[in-house]
C-alpha cells in the first residue's frame, strides 16, 4: 500500500474534484491510501501539508506552483513528488507570456520526479523542464449524467457552465446568440455559474452552480456551448465543460480551440464554429432538428465513455502513480 498525499488550493477547485478526488475510491480499491490537504490559506495549512508529506510515499501537487523556500521544504519532505497541471499556469490569463510565472513553473517541474499534464500542449511545455511527462486527460464520471432528464419543452435551452473567471469567454458569444435568437424565438441561455448577464437581448436562466445538481441542470438543456479564443491560455484548457456536455447527451457548439477541437468531432458530436455566422448556422440547425440533436448527443456520450471516462483515464493515472511510487 502506498500513502498518496494530494495537495491543492482547495476541495472546491475543479482541478481538485476532477483530477484527484473523483479517483479516491478507485485508488483505495487499488491498494493505495489517498489523502487530500489544502496548500492555501495560511501557515497552518502549509505546516500540516509538510508534516503529512514526510509520512506519504508520494506527494501529488495539483496545479499550484510554490515559492522557492516552500518548494525546497516540500522537496526535502517528499519521498516522491509529482506535479499535475490542467491549465497554462506558466502564462497570463490573456494568453500572453509571463517571465515570472514561467520561472516559477520551471523551478517546480525541475524538482519533481514526474509530471502529469491534461493535454499534449501542456505536456510539450512541461517537457522543456522535465522529460518525465505523461498526458492524463481530464475525465468525467459518465454515470453521474442522465441525458434528457426534465428537458424544458417550451424553451430551446443553450447551456454554458463556468464561473466569473471565465465569464469573458461567454460574453464573446453574445453577438452570435443574439443573432441566433432572431431566428430561434424559443432560444434561452442557461448559465450555470455564479453570475447572470445583464440584458443581452435574449432570455437567460441563471442557475447557481452546485456540485450536487450540475449534472441534472446540464441534462435538462438542449445544446452545450463553449466559446473560447485561440491563445496559449485556451490551449492549456482541458475541455472539461465540453466533456460534461457530451456526458449529459448534449450536442456541442464550440470554438475550434485547444482540446475542444479534439473532443468535438465536427458534424458527429456537434459543431466547431470559428465565425459568428458559423455559430448562428449551427444553433439554427440544431434547433430545427431534434433527431440531429439526439444523434449527436448520443455520439458525444459514447465518445466520452470510450476516451474520457473515469475508468479509462484512471487506468493511465494508476500506472503512473504505481511506477513513481515503486510499485510498477
Specify the DSSP class assigned to residue 266.
B
User: What is the largest distance, in Å, between two alpha-carbon atoms of the chain?
Assistant: 62
Distance CA 6, CA 21 (A): 9
Which of 268, 271, 262 has its CA nearest to residue 295?
Answer: 268
- 29 with 126, same domain: the answer is yes
- 115 with 158, same domain: the answer is no
Residue 142: half-sphere exposure toward Cβ, Cα within 13 Å: 20
Beta carbons of 259 and 212 less than 8 angstroms apart: no
230-256 mean pLDDT: 96
User: What value does the mean pLDDT of the chain take?
Assistant: 96
pTM of the model as a whole: 0.94
Specify the DSSP class assigned to residue 140.
B
- 128 with 56, same domain: the answer is yes
Which of 319, 255, 268, 260 has its CA nearest to residue 82?
Answer: 319
Which of 316, 321, 250, 314 has its CA nearest to residue 25?
Answer: 314
To the nearest 10°, report the CA torsion of 87, 88, 92, 95. Answer: -110
Strand, helix or coil for residue 11: coil
327 pLDDT tier (thresholds 50, 70, 90): low
Residue 5 has phi, psi (to 5 degrees) of: -100, 120
* CATH label of the domain that carries residue 264: 3.40.50.2000
Any bridge partners for residue 252, and if so which? 224, 270
- 179 with 303, same domain: the answer is yes
The whole domain housing 235 covers 142-307
- 112 with 146, same domain: the answer is no
- 292 with 152, same domain: the answer is yes
Beta carbons of 282 and 180 less than 8 angstroms apart: no
- 98 with 120, same domain: the answer is yes
What percentage of the chain reaches a pLDDT higher than 90? 94
**Number of domains into which the chain is organized:** 2
Instruction: Assess whether pLDDT exceeds 70 at residue 150.
Output: no
Beta carbons of 244 and 140 less than 8 angstroms apart: yes
Instruction: Assess whether pLDDT exceeds 60 at residue 177.
Output: yes
Cell numbers describing residue 237: 484548457
Alpha-carbon distances, residue 220 vs 238, 290, 309 (angstroms): 24, 14, 21
1 pLDDT tier (thresholds 50, 70, 90): confident
- 157 with 133, same domain: the answer is no
- 50 with 114, same domain: the answer is yes
pLDDT (0 to 100) of residue 284? 98
Amino acid at each position: 500500500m502506498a500513502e498518496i498525499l494530494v495537495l491543492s488550493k482547495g476541495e472546491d477547485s475543479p482541478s481538485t474534484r476532477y483530477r484527484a478526488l473523483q479517483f479516491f475510491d478507485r485508488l483505495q480499491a487499488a491498494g493505495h491510501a489517498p489523502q487530500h490537504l489544502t496548500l492555501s490559506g495560511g501557515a497552518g495549512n502549509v505546516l500540516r501539508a509538510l508534516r503529512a508529506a514526510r509520512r506519504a510515499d508520494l506527494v501529488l501537487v495539483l496545479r499550484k506552483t510554490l515559492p522557492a523556500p516552500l518548494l525546497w521544504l516540500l522537496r526535502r519532505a517528499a519521498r516522491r513528488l509529482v506535479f499535475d497541471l490542467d491549465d497554462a499556469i506558466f502564462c497570463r490569463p490573456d494568453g500572453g507570456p509571463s517571465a515570472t510565472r514561467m520561472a516559477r513553473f520551471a523551478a517546480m517541474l525541475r524538482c519533481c520526479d514526474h509530471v502529469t499534464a491534461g493535454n499534449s500542449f501542456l505536456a510539450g511545455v512541461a517537457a522543456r523542464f522535465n522529460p518525465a511527462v505523461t498526458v492524463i486527460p481530464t475525465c468525467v464520471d459518465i454515470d453521474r449524467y442522465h441525458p434528457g432528464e426534465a428537458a424544458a419543452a417550451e424553451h430551446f435551452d443553450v447551456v454554458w457552465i463556468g464561473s466569473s473567471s471565465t465569464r469573458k469567454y461567454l460574453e464573446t458569444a453574445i453577438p452570435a446568440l443574439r443573432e441566433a435568437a432572431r431566428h430561434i424565438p424559443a432560444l434561452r441561455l442557461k448559465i450555470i455559474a455564479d453570475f447572470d448577464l445583464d440584458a443581452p437581448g435574449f432570455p437567460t436562466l441563471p442557475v447557481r452552480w452546485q456540485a450536487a445538481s450540475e449534472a441534472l441542470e446540464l441534462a435538462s438543456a438542449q445544446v452545450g456551448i463553449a466559446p473560447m479564443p485561440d491563445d496559449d491560455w485556451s490551449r492549456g484548457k482541458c475541455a472539461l465543460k465540453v466533456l460534461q456536455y457530451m456526458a449529459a447527451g448534449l450536442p456541442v457548439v464550440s470554438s475550434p480551440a485547444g482540446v475542444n477541437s479534439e473532443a468535438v468531432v465536427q458534424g458527429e458530436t456537434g459543431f466547431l464554429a470559428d465565425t459568428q455566422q458559423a455559430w448562428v448556422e449551427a444553433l439554427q440547425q440544431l434547433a430545427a432538428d431534434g433527431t440531429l440533436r439526439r444523434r449527436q448527443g448520443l455520439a458525444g456520450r459514447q465518445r466520452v465513455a470510450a476516451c474520457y471516462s473515469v475508468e479509462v483515464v484512471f487506468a493511465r493515472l494508476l500506472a503512473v502513480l504505481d511506477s513513481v511510487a515503486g510499485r510498477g
